[in-house]
Every structure is written in structure tokens, then in C-alpha cells.
Chains A and B, each alone.
Chain A
């Protein structure tokens, strides 16, 4: 069935990136500060954000580097941490519908982080976004720019940048939880509740039992399996 609404534009993608950028900037700033504190130079900190572009992995990379872990061990650990991203492409393309463009996905898909995926999927689910590659470039570029810029400014500001601003630091630290919660509300429908409940419970349990990375992977897989078992979403 054809949809008369026009495809979402690059500018709409940039606009959709705004809450992500607001959430990314303070975290990237903190990463820049932490990287300099760990002994990296500002260009090295920015290089990590430009090339790896995965928040939790980058913080873990600092711990591995300063702990003297071998290159192969560090690489394997960081790669395993981001394995969850393989689920995002197919889920997004399915939500985009048949015939959705993917010729330039080799370029925009690098920007398919947790938050960009969540925001794009939320927009598609609410009908506010009609998938297009320019839209994906816009949302990806906005988020990427905030991440790299935040890292650079944090690295240049140096070790004690936020020490005199505890309230601001606390509020900035709540940006990402707030963003994920808002995204969760944006996709909340009765049919999705069982999947959401299973994913949430599995995340809490696996995190307490096995650690944060296992919690994230376990929650996603348990929620998706709940959908397969027929508890979940019909779209």
C-alpha cells in the first residue's frame, strides 16, 4: 500500500537528532575529560570518538588501556560489547517497509547507535517519520557531531572541568536516562507491554547477576524472544 506522506528530509533528521545531541554532548564531554585524565592526548581522545563511536566501549577502552590489557584482549572485549548492534539494521529496515532505500547504508549505518536507532524507530512507529536515506544521514550526522565535539571540548577543558559545577554535572548525567525513557514512552502501546516487561526484568536480573554488558545483551535477547513466543508486538 502506498503512503502519500513525503519522505522525511535531511533537515528533519537533524531536528530528530537534537535530543540525542543534548544527551550525547555531556557524556562525550565526560569522556574527553576522563581520557585526558587517563593519560591520552586531546587528539587521541578525539580519534577514539571519531573511529570507534560507541560510548560505553570508549570508557571501557580507557580502563583497558590504563590497565595494560593486551591489544587482542582489548579488541575482543570491545567488539563483544557492541555485538547487540547487529539487531538494529534488520529491525529498522523492517519498520521502514518494503522498498526502503539502502544504497548508501554503507555510509549512514555507521551512525546507527543505540540512541539513533531508538529515535528513528520511535519516529517510524509514531508515524512522524517516513524512512529515507537523507533522514538517516541527518539524524546520524547530528548525533555524531555532538559526540565528537563534546569529546574535543572535554579533552581541551582537562581533568577537573566539571568539579565546580556538581548540579550541572548531575543534570547532564541524567540526560541519557531521560532520553531513553522518553523514547520508551514514545513506543508504548498495549501490544508492546509484555516485550517491554520481559526485557526490563531480564536486564535487571542479568545486570545484578552477570554485569552491565550481559544485562544489556540479555535484556534485548529476552525481550525479542518474548516477541517470538507470541507475547509481543504485532505490526
Chain B
């Protein structure tokens, strides 16, 4: 196994672990309810999920011709309908991917 590759993996892996673990140790008990920090943390979750949803869709939309957008539109609609019908994240994910695949095959 390439030594440089192992070193790179260990350095980046250790940083990832630190980024994910160390902030969980922050003691937030003194943070006042409704304070700036509390508002920041409460907004972080929705902001992160919205960002990741847009970031994952953007390449599919940006590089597509108009006709190629149909599978994306069908997939997005499929996720929305399946989620609001079932309130299941798993079912909505599967439905969106299947409908995207069907639309892709038809187009």
C-alpha cells in the first residue's frame, strides 16, 4: 500500500474525526435561550440541509438541456408527493430515485 496515500488518509481522517467529535463536547448549558449563539445553532440544521439539497441538485440542473430537466423535475415531484403522502424519508428517497430512473429511460 502506498505510504503517501496512507499518510494522507490518516491526516485527513484525524481532522474529520476532530471536526465531528470535539464540537460535541462544547458545554451549551450557559448559552441563554434565544441568544445569538442559540439562534445560530437552531438555524444551522435547516441551513445545512437546505444547502446540501441545493448543492446536490445544482449540477443536475446546471449542465442539463431543457429536455434533460424532465427526469429531475419528475424526481423532485416524486420525492415531494411520496414524502407528504407517507411522511417517510426512506420511501420518499426510493420513490424519487425510481421515478427519476423511469423518466430518464423515457426521455
Residues of chain A having any CB pair with chain B under 8 Å: 18-19, 22-23, 40-41, 43-44, 47-48, 51-54, 57, 61, 65, 71, 74-75, 78-79, 82-95, 98, 102, 105-106, 109-112, 114, 117-119, 121-122, 125-126, 167-168, 170-172, 174-187, 192, 195-200, 202-204, 207, 212, 215-216, 219-228, 230, 232-235
State the CA gap A156–B11 with chains docked (Å).
26
Residue contact A44 to B1, C-beta cutoff 8 Å = yes
Check if B63 is an interface residue, CB within 8 A of chain A: no
Residue contact A43 to B55, C-beta cutoff 8 Å = no
Residue contact B101 to A185, C-beta cutoff 8 Å = no
Size of interface on B: residues with Cβ below 8 Å to A: 74
State the CA gap A47–B8 with chains docked (Å).
11
List 20 additional A-B contacts (Cβ < 8 Å) besides A19-B94, A117-B45, A200-B54: A47-B6, A57-B16, A75-B11, A75-B15, A82-B19, A102-B25, A112-B21, A114-B52, A171-B97, A172-B97, A174-B60, A174-B75, A174-B101, A178-B78, A183-B89, A187-B46, A216-B55, A219-B55, A227-B39, A227-B44
State the CA gap A155–B22 with chains docked (Å).
33
State the CA gap A167–B100 with chains docked (Å).
9
* A228 with B16, Cβ < 8 A, contacts A65-B5, A184-B49 known: no
27 CB contacts below 8 A, A to B, read: A19-B89, A22-B97, A40-B5, A44-B1, A53-B16, A65-B8, A71-B7, A83-B19, A89-B20, A89-B23, A89-B25, A90-B23, A91-B45, A91-B48, A94-B42, A105-B24, A110-B16, A172-B97, A178-B92, A178-B95, A185-B92, A203-B50, A224-B44, A227-B42, A232-B39, A233-B43, A233-B46
State the CA gap A181–B91 with chains docked (Å).
12
Residue contact A109 to B24, C-beta cutoff 8 Å = yes
Enumerate chain B residues within 8 angstroms of A223, measured Cβ to Cβ.
Answer: 43-44, 46-48, 50-51
* A184 with B42, Cβ < 8 A, contacts A23-B93, A51-B10, A178-B92 known: no
